[in-house]
Amino acid sequence: MTAHGQRIRAAVGPVLLLAAVTGPGWAATASGPPLLWRVAGCTPGPSYVFAILHSADSRVTTLPRPVRVALNASARLVMEVLPTSATLTVLSAESFDPDEPGRAGLASRLGPDLFVATARRIAPYGVSADLLRHMRPWAVVATLSLPRPSAGMFQELVVYLRAYEAHKPASALLDPGSQIALFEKLPARVQVALVRAVVRRHGAALRAIAEQRRAYLAGDLPALARLRADYPTFRDDPVAARAFRALLRRIAHRVVGRLLPRLHAGSRFATVTALNLPGPDGVLHGLRAAGCTLQRVSNAPRVPGTYVGARSGPRSRQDTVSPARSATTRPLPKG
């Protein structure tokens, strides 16, 4: 593999990884209702919020009928980050420190023992020790926190291409560079703590990925909330755990702040990383606090094709979140 190819494979962000695309699987399905909510009260609609999981598992990439119908009924697609080559270029460039005289490489930042352990852990991801020396800590954490590279189409790309085929404009809520900056602003010792945690507890990181997938397929929002509050990878390191939760809070806050104007403007199908949705500091709570009503869509055969934003009656305390009391879109690129 060329150095350029290795950089692309290594360039993964907190919210997105692009891998080689061969085609989606369409045979298997999830076992539970989709993590899909109809939005009212803060949008003329039809608008929806759908949880995205970064996975090429065919049970994940096979979109349930209610999700497909909701996407078709919405005028525009809004994603945290658009899965385009431009995004990948930014992530790749930001994954590595510039070659400047006197700039400490990753080996100096981590120390010899942790660097050797990190090189051993990250080798199966296609990252050589020489390449690792130039990587930034955020890229190491993101790489080891996501599934190992595999051929397949990840779910976010499946949604994006489906919208493209339907000629729906798409826009991003988050700028990859600004998201990386959240990590880069952490103190050096905290960045090292996060690297140490994903290296030493990499088995837990892989199990956490599988646990997220199980919760997602079951439509189990409380299970995702437990993972958000107590992520296994960082469980043994209070410094890393606090930093991870703080990053999730800040990302969710940004998503809510940038999604609300889009919802106010018209019909939107918004995708949000599954782990960013639940909890008192998650996106669902933030939308509720801003006056939105979120009604969980069941796995019924049909989702209403016309929706004018009227507030629907609650189905259950778990499925419906009532309102609290108190970037320019652009067409999808061709090709």
pLDDT 10s digits, 91-142: 888 888 876 444 568 999 999 999 999 999 999 999 999 999 999 999 999 9
Residue 316 lies in a domain: no
Output the six-digit token pair for 196: 């140490």
Domain presence at residue 335: no
Which pLDDT score is estimated for 29? 57
The pLDDT value given to residue 7: 38
For the sheet with 170-172, list strands across it: 170-172, 76-79, 268-273, 47-52, 36-40, 293-296, 320-321
Give domain status of residue 308, yes or no: no
Rg over alpha carbons for the chain, rounded to the nearest Å, is 20
Instruction: Check residue 307 and give its pLDDT.
Output: 35
Bridge-partner residues for 37, per DSSP?
A: 49, 296
Q: What whole-number distance in Å separates Cα of residue 138 and Cα of residue 136? A: 6
**pLDDT value at residue 245:** 96
pLDDT value for 313: 35
Residue 334: predicted pLDDT: 41
Amino acid letter, 106: L
Cβ count within 10 A of residue 315? 12
pLDDT digits (tens, 9 = 90+) for 30-47: 678 999 999 999 999 899
- Residue 193 forms part of a structural domain: yes
Domain residues for the domain of 246 are 3-97+105-302
End-to-end CA distance of the chain: 25
Q: How many domains does the chain have?
A: 1
CB 79 within 8 A of CB 160: yes
Per the listing, tokens 């088995």 go with 203
Structure tokens at 136: 């930034």
Residue 19 forms part of a structural domain: yes
pLDDT at 91: 85
Q: Is 45 inside any structural domain?
A: yes
Question: What pLDDT, on a 0 to 100 scale, did the predictor assign at position 99?
Answer: 64
Task: Enumerate residue ranges in the chain where pLDDT < 70.
Answer: 1-30, 99-104, 149-151, 299-335
pLDDT of residue 60: 95
